[in-house]
Structure 1
């Protein structure tokens, strides 16, 4: 669901469609973090669980370090193939 809605963001043509799709994207990703935490409880016993939850939590800042420059490069593609940089 999240991937489909993310792909549909490229088809946004106005303010209303942007707000609707952004809201739906938020709804789609709202359960991701608690779902992953629940999933980790199924796979790892209690004595190891804190390590794996910590590793998952560390992934957030690491993804920012990697994703921010990539996002900047993508925003620089403004006008390529008729799309705005944010699309």
Structure 2
């Protein structure tokens, strides 16, 4: 895989997934901190941990990784409806 992106999906916490979504939306670390009501340093630490877990080198490669593994949905790109808990739809 080009760009040092992880070839296997990794386990991320709900907070890490939330932060990836906000990074993909174009928010800065300061804006993420304000939105989540946490410190910028905490966001910096989360991003650092996420980059390590996903074997990505920067925010751009992180968003590419997240799109590849279906962790984010941008403007109806890479989106699929997920079944609601308890509902089983057959297509």
TM over 0.5: no
**Higher RCO, 1 or 2 (CA under 8 Å, sep at least 6)?**
2
Where is the helix percentage greater, Structure 1 or Structure 2? 1
Q: TM-score, normalised by structure 2?
A: 0.27
Q: TM-score, normalised by structure 1?
A: 0.28
